[in-house]
């Protein structure tokens, strides 16, 4: 099992809103968006992105060298 916070249920319609005020809703939204960003943009994922960028650059270098 992963260490990720459980997500709350989707927000109710505006007519039956359960938040006491707009600031409480924005605080909940900021907390969940922060958790999602940390989950999807961690150091491992950025490392994999850098690895793929390096491999692509190296492959492009090999293609350019072969054409020259």
Domain count within the chain: 1
**pLDDT score of 2:** 65
On whether residue 47 sits in a domain, the answer given is yes
Where do we find the tokens 């960028």? 53
pLDDT computed for residue 62 by the predictor: 95
Residues 5-50 pLDDT 10s: 777 788 777 777 677 888 988 998 899 888 888 777 778 888 999 9
Vertex 25, ends 30 and 10: CA angle to 5°?
Answer: 85
In a domain, residue 68? The reply is: yes
Question: And the tokens for 18?
Answer: 């359960």
Asked if residue 21 belongs to a domain, the reply is no
Domain containing residue 47:
43-68
For residue 10, what are the contacts with CB-CB under 8 A and spacing of at least 6?
Answer: none
Number of H helices, E strands in the chain: 2, 0
- Considering the domain boundaries, does residue 55 fall inside one? yes
Within-domain flag for 57: yes
């Amino acid at each position: 099992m992963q260490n990720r916070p459980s997500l709350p249920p989707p927000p109710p319609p505006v007519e039956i809103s359960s938040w006491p005020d707009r600031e409480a809703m924005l605080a909940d939204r900021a907390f969940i968006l922060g958790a999602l960003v940390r989950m999807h943009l961690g150091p491992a994922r950025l490392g994999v992105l850098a690895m793929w960028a390096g491999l692509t650059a190296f492959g492009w270098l090999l293609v350019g060298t072969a054409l020259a």
